[in-house]
Each structure stands twice: as structure tokens, then as C-alpha cells.
Amino acid sequence: MKMKLKEVYSALKLDVDGIADIDVTGVCFDSREAKAGDLFFPLKGERDGHDFINNAIENGVHATIWQSDHDIPNDDIPYVVVDDVSKAFDTLAKYYLAKVNPKVVAVTGSNGKTTTKDMIASVLETSNNVARTQKSFNNEIGVPYTILNMPINTEVLVVEMGMDRTGQIEHLSSLANPDISVITMIGEAHIEFFGTRDKIADAKMEIVSHLQEDGRFIYDGDEPLLRDRAKNVEQRKYTFGRKDDDTLYATEINPGKTSTTFKTNLWPEIEFTIPMMGDYNVNNALAALLVGLESHIKPEAMQKALKNLYVTENRTEWLKASNGADILSDVYNSNPTAVIEVLSNLKNIPTKGRRILVLGDILELGDASIALHESLAKYINPDDFAKIYLVGEYMKYLAGKLTAKYSSGDMKWYQKDQLDKLTDDIKKELNSSDTLLLKASHGIHLENVLHALI
């Protein structure tokens, strides 16, 4: 970002008379991360951001936004007084987006949106100056923050959009006005808040609510809920998936432990490689390839970009236990679709020893929690997974379904507060040749088990 403070006043429709002619080179809302040249936005979270202005000043901010219902301290920096800090944040973001005028690609989905965002950015970076959402800054704070911190020479902005309620993505879409909107897939994530997958699909479709008239809509063509809703989208549409009626579909998929290769119908002579496990990540790559196709990126350049992909937040990673066993760790995020996908891939990964599962509760499933946990039973069989460790209130229902398949010695259930016992039991059982999966929602804190094992 590069802007004069007078320009900030003008963008917010404030009187610029007598305003200091100083440079603003970034924005921040966390005083701990404030730096010289920043404009501080005291947003309200668990605490009121106005309480942290002294910290922000100490870290070098040049100015701060200030809500008019708060008393202004006597500090020697400019205070930009507004009626509402959050609305000012959005207003300035829309102004700056219009000023830089990049092509905007917006990405959402129940699974894979962060990976897809990074794949799209990598593909487009082969011939553009690209800015992208960092970390998981994909909400009402994260999206305007991403916009305001993109460099002035940005040609393409790839922005991730998350949600936990109806209307959230519509609001984010109104800020970004995307040229290309992408939906990776519809799963059960956040079903607690929406009730059904139909309602989740409705909420995800809000990403086209502010799509440019000449924009493009790219989505999972194998998802009937999206196919049906896409009929109402007037902009040009492209689909990805595994069926031959998709615009782009994958062929010859070869999943491996740390990489996956595939070919496609549009470029059958080119083999694409992504540096991650899971044929489910192939769909994310297909979405990125369609964005690249629409942006006139050569397939050979896209091939190289995907092979050398850097992922912002690769939650699924291979690690080594202290005894040499392989650990596939995904202890910070879980939903039924993601569990099914990783199980389907893990059972095909060669191992000298046994495949062992440690699964913790999947949270935020609401009234569907019991049924969705029980439904995982059909994907877990002794021929594929020798031992099962289950943790949490809802995994007890999955344990009940698995008693017909597993003996009490090969399947064990633990309460959430029994992680120390779980760790001890795993250490006693785990051989150096085994492959162990750890997967749960972060609220179960399987990272404590992981740290003890490695």
C-alpha cells in the first residue's frame, strides 16, 4: 500500500484541510504487528482495539483511525475520526482496490480453498504481479486487510473468502467485486450453522453476487448442488472434476505419499505434478488450471508452477515419530469430507508396517454430529487400518459402529481429557515401520499427542 494521509481523508469523505502530508505504507489492526508507516484500525474483537493505541504508537504507526464515540487521547499522531471503524475499513479497502485496479480472483469452498488460492496465485505469478490472502485472513477483517496491504503494482489479487453464516460471503464479494469466482466444493463444514448442504451451497453461491458482468464462474461440476444453482448465473461458466462433461477433467491420476501426478483432457500430453498427497487435491489444481487458462497462461508454465507450489498453510504434513514411524498429521482442522478423502488416499499409500488411525471429534456439526461420525464407519476396515484410536464425545458413536469389525484390543476410545493415556498407549504399540494418521478438529488438541510422539 502507498497512500498520502490526505488521500485517506478524501477516500473516507472527510475534510482534508489542515491534514499533515504524510505517507501511509500499510494498515494494521493488531498493535503487536504494527510497524512504521502503518495506519492503525482499532477494530473491536474480544477487546476494543482503541485500548491498544499506545502499543501501536510505540511500534511506529503514523496515524490511527478513531471512532467518534471514544475520547481522543492527547498523542502526537494524527487521528482520523470516523463514525464507524469497521465501515471505514471497508470503505478504504474499496477505494484502494479501485485505485490499484487489479484483476480479482475470489475463492471459497467447504474444503481446499486455501490450497486452491495458493495454486491459483502460483499459476498466475508466472506472468503477473500477484498478491494473495495470507494465512487464513478470509473473513470481514481479513479480506479488507488483504486488499489494503497489496502492493501498488499488483496486477492480480487472489482473495480467499470464508464463512460461518448467511450473508457473509455476499458482503466479502461486495468488497472485492471479483472478475473470477471459484467454488472448490460443498461439504459439511459449518453445517451446525446452516443445517443442510443445500443451505451451505446457497451461502457459497453468494460469491457470484458481485461478480463482474463479464466475469467467469469456475466450480466443481460434479456437485449437483452447484450445477443446479449455476443455471441462474449469467456470466460464463467453467467446470472441473472427473466427468467427461466437465470443462476440465483429470485423467491418469497417480497419488503418492508426498506428491500426486495427473493428466487432463485439454492437455493430454502434459503430466502435472502437485507436491502433496491426495487425489482430492487434484480438483483444487484443476480449478487453478482453469483460472490460468482464462488468464492466457501457457500450460507448460502452469505445469512448472504447480510442481514448485508453495502452500501458505499446509495443515496435512508428513512427520517422523521418535522411533522412526511415519506420521501423517492434520491436527488443526477436520470435517467428514476431509476425513473420508484422507482415509481413501492413505489406504493406498505403501507401508512396510501397519496403518494406524487416531481420529478425534469433528466439531461444528450441530444436530448432524452423531450421524456424520457414525457414517465414517464404512470407510474404516481392518484390511486397510490395523488399529484405531478414537477420541472425544462424538467419536464414541463411531466406536460403537466399528465394534462389529474390530476387537477391543484393536480399537480403543478415549475421552477428550485422556490424551496422556492415549499417548502412552500409542507409544507402547507403535512400531518403527508403521504409518500413523492423526486427524481431528483443533478443539481436541491432538497436537499435544503429536508433540509427544515426535
Query: pLDDT for 425-454, tens place per residue?
Result: 999 999 999 999 999 999 999 999 999 999
State pLDDT tens for residues 5-14: 999 999 999 9
- Within 8 A by CB and 6+ apart from 395, the residues are 359, 360, 361, 373, 413
Q: What is the pLDDT of residue 312?
A: 67
333 marked among binding-site residues = no
Residue 314 has pLDDT above 60, yes or no: no
10 marked among binding-site residues = no
Question: CA-CA-CA-CA torsion for 49, 54, 60, 62, nearest 10 degrees?
Answer: 70
Report d(CA 361, CA 418) in Å as an integer: 13
At the fourth CATH level, the homologous superfamily of domain 102-307 is Mur-like, catalytic domain (3.40.1190.10)
Pick the CATH number of 3-83 from 3.40.1390.10, 3.40.50.1980, 3.30.390.10, 3.90.550.10: 3.40.1390.10
Domain range list for the chain: 3-83, 102-307, 317-453
278 marked among binding-site residues = no
- 178 Rama sector, left if φ>0, alpha if ψ -120 to 50, beta otherwise: beta
The amino acid sitting at 319 is: L
Grid coordinates belonging to 415: 475421552
Residue 313 has pLDDT above 70, yes or no: no
Report the chain's mean pLDDT, rounded to a whole number.
95
Contact (CB, 8 A) for 15 and 9 = yes
Q: What is the pLDDT of residue 54?
A: 92
Phi, psi of 67 (to 5 degrees): -80, 135
Q: What is the pLDDT of residue 75?
A: 76
Angle made by CA atoms 196, 391, 446, in degrees to the nearest 5 = 95
Residue 315 has pLDDT above 60, yes or no: yes
Domain 317-453 has CATH 3.90.190.20: yes
State pLDDT tens for residues 26-63: 999 999 999 999 999 999 988 999 999 999 999 999 89
Q: What is the pLDDT of residue 280?
A: 87
Per residue in 144-170, is it b (16+ CB within 10 Å) or e — as a string?
Answer: bbbbbbbeeebbbbbbbbbbeeeebbb
110 marked among binding-site residues = yes
Q: What is the pLDDT of residue 229?
A: 98
Contact (CB, 8 A) for 453 and 427 = yes
109 marked among binding-site residues = yes
Residue 190 has pLDDT above 80, yes or no: no
- Calculate what percentage of the chain has a pLDDT beyond 90: 86
